[in-house]
Amino acid sequence: MSDEQDKHRSEADAELEREIRRERKFSLSEAIGRLAGPGIMKGASPIPRKQQVETEIEEYLRRELTDPGDALRVVVLRHVKESEALISNYDQPFVVLSMCLQSIINSDGLMEELVRQADIEWARILGERPYFEQEGVPPHPADPYTMDSVRITLSELIEKLKGGSRA
């Protein structure tokens, strides 16, 4: 009797599944899921590891980077996302961030470009004209991102990373 009940239950389950499928639209994600089979995502995140690391770094910068205009955070994150260090070190996001920040501080060219991009981003956010620092001319008093101020901000952030401020 139990075999007959199981068979009847299987037929009823199959009929219910057919009815459900008739009522919904077929999507690409469903097709991929069917091809992969049941249990394909067990223990794995559907979000790629690179994106997880980028999000972790972004959240850290949002908490720890002192940036009244929010433009420096955007530009630093963009720099980190494009870095070779990130691609080869998904397991250590804060080491990657520290390496990227240190490389910016150690290179006048990278620092100039980062400050320039921060000025552009700041101007875009506020709808104002950017203040670009020029060699031999003191920075504009209203410029929130100067070579010196950005160098100090990034150095402070590196110290926070060394101190273990990640929670």
- Are 127 and 92 contained in the same domain? yes
- Residue 39's pLDDT is what? 56
- Are 79 and 12 contained in the same domain? no
- Are 19 and 60 contained in the same domain? no
Q: What are the C-alpha distances in Å from 95 to residues 64, 72, 92, 139?
A: 15, 19, 5, 32
- Are 25 and 105 contained in the same domain? no
Does 42 reside within a domain? no
Does 167 reside within a domain? no
> How many other CB atoms are found less than 10 A from the CB of residue 122?
23
Across the chain, mean pLDDT equals 82
- Residue 33's pLDDT is what? 65
- Are 30 and 78 contained in the same domain? no
Does 153 reside within a domain? yes
Q: How many structural domains does the chain have?
A: 2
Nearest to 92 by CA among 75, 103, 80: 80
- Are 59 and 21 contained in the same domain? no
- Are 86 and 139 contained in the same domain? yes
pTM over 0.95? The answer is no
- 58-78 pLDDT per residue, tens: 999 999 998 878 899 999 999
Q: What are the C-alpha distances in Å from 140 to residues 11, 53, 112, 114?
A: 78, 36, 16, 17
The boundaries of the domain holding residue 19 are 2-36
Mean pLDDT of the region 12-41: 69
DSSP assignment of 60-124: HHHHH---TTSHHHHHHHHHHHT-HHHHH-TT-HHHHHHHHHHHHHH-HHHHHHHHHHHHHHHHH
- CA separation for the pair 124, 120 (Å, rounded): 6
The Cβ-side half-sphere exposure at 115, using a 13 Å CA radius, reads 25
Does 44 reside within a domain? no
